[in-house]
Amino acid sequence: MSYELLSEPVRRYIRDKQWDALRPIQAAAISRILSTDDNYILASRTASGKTEAAFLPILTKVDFRERGIQVLYVSPLIALINDQFQRVEGLCKHMDVTVTKWHGEASKSLKDKLVKSPTGILLITPESIEAMFVNHPYYIKALFPNLKFIVIDEIHSFIGSSRGIQLKSLLSRIKILVSNQVRTIGLSATIGDYDEAKRFTGEEERTKVLVDKTPKDLNAKFRYMKSELGNYSVDLIDDLYEQTKDKKVLIFPNSRGKAEEVAVKLKKTAERNNGHHFYFSHHSSVDKELREHIEYFAKNNERQYFCIACTSTLELGIDIGSVDMVVQIDSTYSVASLIQRVGRSGRKENIKSNLLLYATEQWQLLQSIACWQLYKENFIEPIYSQKKPFDILFHQILSILKATSGCSRQLFVNGIKQNAAFTNISAAEAENLIQYMISMDYVEDLKRELIVGYEGEKLVNSKEFYSVFETLPTFKVIHSGKPIGDIPFSPMVMEDENILLAARIWKIMDVDVDAQKIYVVPAHDGNKPLFFGEGGNVHSSIRKKMLEIIYSPFENSTEYEESAAAIIHEMQLFFQPFPIIDFNKDRPLIIKENSIEFYTFSGTQINKTISFLLNNVGISNKLFDKECFIEITSPLKGADSIIDALHKAIVNIEQFVEKVIKETPKQFPFSKWGEFLPADLKKSYILETYFDIAGTEEFLNTVRIAGGE
């Protein structure tokens, strides 16, 4: 029995909590972590006890009397660290184990105390590890000589991202300094590719996956309410108010601006109807203290109903207690995101989750239903990771040279080859990048060693160096001396204009461009601020499921209300003339008088690849990715001619990309550090991350056109 394997202080914690039994993922993790030396990925639904599943056996196995940090917990969010700190500290209260937070907002005195006498468990973000390497490399050696475990929370949020490659590199650099073997435990509710998760640990062969597939009861309802000139309709807001007025609710629109619109309009509706006044917005542009207040209120409030309009800031595992309902307005971009959001409702045992989905346009409805059906089929998108992340290698070269204050060239290249993040980059490729960095003065060659060069120092000494994701410039919004949040600067940011932020309407009184501050007072009417960088790529499996729904019987059910079912039937009638036999191959193509509409029903990256190729062979087109089609305007050719042109074009895609980078580089969205790469590596970056060449080739080799007038 797993419980008997635990140490007495850990068992006492369980008894104090009056648990009836261990959760399935906890029982499995305890027996495996204590009886083997393997790494583990713990995959189970939200609120299934994954944190305890990792820490109960770790606290039993580790001797915390040894000097140094014994357990390193890495989180994607500072807010999640603050939240998990309380849980982990509670676990450790009987064991005299020190638990310390380390991030930009954590206590400096406690950090200093830890460096002088390193012990216990450290909770940290990737950016803080980076800052430690760059600014205080001594800390790394002092803190981690006897590190035993690394726990990565919400590991899916790192896999496949630049931030994840950075973290993988940083953890590899820590492990090189540790004399003993370090084990990695990853936690997630939404992993679509277990092999990729295993590779993320840097030790695929000795990483095992424990999966708890215990289902969660879930009620879902779909409604269709068309938007009005880009804003939510009065009918939708009124209906949403009625559905949520006597509940604890999270509402997920798909942008920060929409979250503000929902929060303000619901609050005004509640005022007219003498309802409760606990309406909030929660996203990355709302001030940190306001967000923390909202989280504390939601978690500790027992009696009051509330409604939080939020983005992905509440998608991850921050504990805000149990909510009665989750509302999703328009489709998520992925099934994984839907799973995370659904998991916020019904977190207590034996309580159903409740999900209400609104769609404001027909294609959003279709995508919502596709994501929902794939969710019920237990599908999660596989995650693609860069094979040759030269952009992060550029960043880490500077980081390593800064941390070591110089390094011999041979040792440096050998260190890169040992780094799990760069195993697919050859020594010759690393050497070529280093040589380029020397030529551009990012690195200086002193013959005996390499050091950070003049241009490199400018980058390393910037506070923006620690992160690998782009942060757009914003202006701080201030009322009565208190910060409310930050918004991107845009032409609408001027005196006497009104904006929505933090679930309130504000009138701009003054804009201090030099100080990047906006001073506001409360107002009664306003426009939502223009936030940027929102959206995402949709996987081909979602698009194929959308096609299946269009060509399959769709009967009314308890899930799909009449308004939603009617729209799906309309779409089915529209596509009825185009015979689809095989959902993997057949695609509709509509020939109109002045254009052709090619419905690819493929993923975003394949659509972008096809549109790019057509443009580069002189076929004018416009991509309507949300609607799953490419509009071809000139020259108009038949279906076979279009496919033939694409077959010929894809062979030359490297030359096309090279030409665009040379002539109009702004056409491509380079990563933060990809901007600094030489032209040939920029080309490699775009070919690997922006397009899906292999997927497009497969599509072109199998597609059959179902055409019609």
Taking only the tens place, the pLDDT of each residue in 475-523 is 899 999 999 998 887 766 788 888 889 888 888 899 888 888 999 999 8
Mean pLDDT of 222-244: 93
Q: What are phi and psi of 412, to 5 degrees?
A: -65, -50
Q: How far apart are CA 533 and CA 311, in angstroms?
A: 13
Q: Which amino acid is at 29?
A: A
Per-residue H/E/C for 537-562: CCCHHHHHHHHHHHCCCCCCCCCECH
Mean pLDDT of 345-363: 80
Look up tokens 């060693």; give the residue.
449
Asked if 610 and 618 count as a contact pair (C-beta separation under 8 A), the reply is no
How far is residue 333 from each of residues 329, 372, 537, measured CA to CA in Å? 12, 12, 7
Q: Is the pLDDT of residue 153 over 60?
A: yes
Considering the chain, tell me which residue range(s) the CATH 3.40.50.300 domain(s) occupy: 2-211, 218-376
Question: Pick the residue with more confidence: 204 or 524?
Answer: 204
User: The domain 390-466: what is its CATH number?
Assistant: 1.10.10.10
- Predicted pLDDT at 532: 55
What letter does residue 666 receive in the DSSP assignment?
G
Contacts for 412-418: CB closer than 8 Å, 24+ residues apart: 412/450, 415/176, 418/172, 418/176
Q: How far apart are CA 574 and CA 212, in angstroms?
A: 42
Angle CA(660)–CA(607)–CA(581) in degrees, nearest 5?
150
How do strand 207-211 and strand 39-43 relate by DSSP bridges? parallel
Q: Is the pLDDT of residue 709 over 80?
A: no
Banded model confidence at residue 52, pLDDT cuts 50, 70, 90: very high
How far is residue 700 from each of residues 322, 546, 589, 599, 639, measured CA to CA in Å? 47, 19, 14, 13, 12
Q: Is the pLDDT of residue 533 over 60?
A: no
The neighbouring-strand residues paired with 505 are 500
- Predicted pLDDT at 347: 56
Q: At what angle do helices 639-650 and 693-702 cross, to 10 degrees?
A: 150
Q: How many CA atoms lie within 13 A of 275 on its CB side?
A: 22
Banded model confidence at residue 95, pLDDT cuts 50, 70, 90: confident
The mean pLDDT of the chain is 90
According to CATH, the superfamily of the domain at 218-376 is P-loop containing nucleotide triphosphate hydrolases (3.40.50.300)
**Dihedral angle computed from the Cα positions of residues 190, 192, 197 and 198, in that order, rounded to the nearest 10 degrees:** 120
Q: Which residues contact 350 (CB under 8 A, 6 or more apart)?
A: none
Which run of H or E residues covers position 25? helix 24-35
| Tokens found for residue 376 | 């019920």
Q: How far apart are CA 443 and CA 428, in angstroms?
A: 17
Q: Is the pLDDT of residue 383 over 90?
A: no
| Tokens found for residue 141 | 């050696």
SS3 content of the chain, % helix, strand, coil (to 5): 45, 20, 35
What size, in residues, is the chain? 709
Q: How far apart are CA 184 and CA 72, in angstroms?
A: 9
- Predicted pLDDT at 525: 72
DSSP conformation letters of 407-444: B-HHHHHHHHHH-GGGTTS-HHHHHHHHHHHHHTTSEE
Q: How far apart are CA 179 and CA 386, in angstroms?
A: 30
Q: Which residues contact 150 (CB under 8 A, 6 or more apart)?
A: 71, 72, 73, 74, 171, 182, 183, 184, 185
DSSP conformation letters of 33-71: HHH---EEEEE--TTS-HHHHHHHHHHHH--TTSSS--E
Q: Is the pLDDT of residue 529 over 80?
A: no
Helix (H, G, I), strand (E, B) or coil at 619: coil
Asked if 46 and 317 count as a contact pair (C-beta separation under 8 A), the reply is yes
Banded model confidence at residue 17, pLDDT cuts 50, 70, 90: confident
Q: How far apart are CA 708 and CA 436, in angstroms?
A: 54
Q: How far apart are CA 687 and CA 685, in angstroms?
A: 6
Kindly report, residue by residue over 299-349, the tens digit of the pLDDT.
888 889 999 999 887 877 677 777 899 999 999 999 999 988 887 765 565
Q: Is the pLDDT of residue 608 over 80?
A: yes
- Predicted pLDDT at 317: 64
How far is residue 483 from each of residues 264, 471, 558, 604, 606, measured CA to CA in Å? 19, 19, 45, 38, 43
CATH assignment of 2-211, given 3.90.1170.50, 3.30.160.270, 3.30.2010.10, 3.40.50.300?
Answer: 3.40.50.300
What letter does residue 676 receive in the DSSP assignment?
G
Q: Is the pLDDT of residue 34 over 90?
A: yes
DSSP conformation letters of 445-469: E-SS-EEE-HHHHHHHTSGGGG--S
- Predicted pLDDT at 229: 79
- Predicted pLDDT at 536: 82
Please give the share of the chain, as a percent, with pLDDT higher than 90: 65
For the whole model, what pTM was predicted? 0.91
Look at 2-11, 212-221, 457-466, 699-708 and tell me which has the smallest mean pLDDT: 212-221
Asked if 181 and 207 count as a contact pair (C-beta separation under 8 A), the reply is no
Question: Pick the residue with more confidence: 179 or 183?
Answer: 183
Considering the chain, tell me which residue range(s) the CATH 1.10.10.10 domain(s) occupy: 390-466
Closest listed residue to residue 392, CA positions, set 448, 354, 430, 432: 430
